[in-house]
A = this chain, B = another copy of it.
Amino acid sequence: MDIIKLPEYNIYIGHIQRALRHFVTDRQYSQHLLIADENTATHCLPILAEYLADIPFKVITIPPGEVHKNIQTCEKIWSSLMHNQTDRRALVLNLGGGVIGDMGGFCAGTFKRGIDFIQIPTTLLSQVDASVGGKLGIDFADIKNSIGLFKNPGAVFIDPVFLKTLPKREITSGFAEIIKHCLIADRDQWNSLQLVKNLEQVDWTALIAHSVLIKKQIVESDPFEKGIRKALNFGHTIGHAIESYFLSSKTPLLHGEAIALGMICEAHLSFQRQGLTNQELEQILSFIKTLYPQPIIPRDSFQELIHLMQNDKKNVDKKINFSLIQPIGQVHVNQEAETDEIKASMHYYNSTVN
């Protein structure tokens, strides 16, 4: 069991049973409400129920997927809490991926002006990404996470046992955030990562703990995303746009898959604008290519993608904001790029697709 201590809460990584039971019983909550989606209710809840054993809890189940991460689902969750006569001394347990963590946390954080909640992320993406930083929210008017708040959970419990419930593609997708954390902050770990050839033979507890620690250090120095925290945005400006674009296609990409492509494009921007070397760019490209699908980004969609980037909530005055790297392991926030350079980076990516 690894424990990462943040000023306001702890992150437990490994076999979480004992720490979880201790946390829940110690605080003597009036009630325990567990929020799951239909998938985690089927695959993860049996494991968690065994961990909790004699601790009573009620389950609120919602339909799975980003498409339900909206205010209508929040209304269902709030209604269920109300229906269960949940009071301010109750605990919400969010069991699931990023959607459950973001939305369940938002609902708990706003129910009766905020009740305690803990995160039990079950996907690799949410384990390395969503467990630090207190960012909660839902999608609104087609913009991801456009309604939400910053609020820390009571604790985060990360158990690699849940990764066994995931399809391989989900694991690879989540791995993109681990790659990102190395690229922006840890060249040594990046070098070690190059040795990973098979995601089925990995010490997840160690790898997740290392990745969470990087994120923790960045978030702690900038809790409200005023400056350096934007470092975590590497790959995400273009990646989010790619994700939105392919969402309505026949072959939607998982979040991490889109971010992986976004990292190739933004590594190219880093090459164009920051002097990242060609050798480093190609090293990033070749590692990502061994792991991720590589759809062509249609040339006639470039303008639409740029428009999506302009609507990103991190922008100020409608300029497109990037976090770029140079060299690998160092990041430079608040970089702007010209439309032509952004298009060139997508051309570059397309040109590398076989």
Contact = CB atoms under 8 A, between A and B. Distances in A.
Contact of A149 (B113, B141, B314): B113
Interface string A107-137: 0011111100000000000000000000111
A135 to B, nearest CB: 7
Contact of A316 (B87, B136, B148, B316): B87
Contacts of A79: 141
B317 A87 contact: yes
B85 A318 contact: yes
A313 B78 contact: no
A185 to B, nearest CB: 23
A87 B137 contact: no
A150 B150 CA distance: 11
A343 B54 CA distance: 40
Nearest to A318: B85
A165 interface: no
A140 B89 CA distance: 19
A71 interface: yes
A66 interface: no
Nearest to A107: B147
Contacts of A301: none
B114 A149 contact: yes
A78 B147 contact: yes
Which of A88, A113, A137 has the most chain B CB atoms closer than 10 A to its own CB?
A113
Contacts of A85: 311, 318
A149 B112 contact: no
A199 interface: no
B113 A145 contact: yes
Given A112-B313, A149-B149, 11 more contacts: A71-B71, A71-B75, A78-B140, A78-B146, A82-B140, A82-B146, A87-B317, A110-B137, A111-B146, A112-B147, A113-B149
Closest 4 CB pairs of A and B: A112-B313, A113-B148, A82-B141, A110-B147
9 contacts: A30-B316, A87-B315, A87-B317, A89-B316, A110-B137, A111-B147, A113-B136, A113-B150, A113-B313
Interface of A: 30, 71, 75, 78-79, 82, 85, 87-89, 109-114, 135-137, 140-141, 143, 145-151, 224-225, 311, 313-318
